[in-house]
């Protein structure tokens, strides 16, 4: 597998691991999203421990308003975080 294919596989693995913790296996509840944020995005989501911020993020991500975040909704979030990361990395310039 290529690097990018591996990265995609890892993304799916991480989602599955957290989504499988409670309720439906294929979607994230608010608690599952919170756990994922705290463990997997400690550098980017500084307010992951802030309940109000998590609630707001959850509402924003839950595009179809079914009170669960599915994989499609999750990757939109990962894509926007990656875009921020890209900008940040390029701002720092070459080492």
Secondary structure (3-state) at 66: coil
Q: What is the spatial distance between Cα 76 and Cα 81, in angstroms, rounded to a whole number?
A: 9
Residue 47 CB, nearest distance to Ca ion (Å)?
21
| Interface residues toward Ca ion, by CB under 5 A | 19, 23-24, 62, 64, 66, 68
Which is closer to Ca ion, CB of 37 or CB of 62? 62
Q: What is the spatial distance between Cα 26 and Cα 69, in angstroms, rounded to a whole number?
A: 9
Residue 28 CB, nearest distance to Ca ion (Å)?
6
φ/ψ of residue 33, rounded to 5: -60, -40
Residue 89 CB, nearest distance to Ca ion (Å)?
30
Which is closer to Ca ion, CB of 19 or CB of 54? 19
């Amino acid at each position: 597998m290529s690097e990018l294919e591996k990265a995609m596989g890892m993304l799916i693995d991480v989602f599955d691991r957290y989504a499988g913790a409670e309720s439906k296996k294929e979607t994230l509840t608010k608690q599952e999203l919170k756990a994922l944020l705290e463990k997997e995005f400690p550098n980017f989501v500084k307010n992951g421990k802030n309940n109000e911020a998590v609630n707001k993020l959850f509402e924003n991500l839950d595009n179809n308003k079914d009170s669960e975040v599915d994989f499609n909704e999750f990757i939109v979030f990962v894509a926007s975080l990656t875009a921020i990361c890209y900008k940040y990395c390029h701002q720092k310039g070459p080492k």
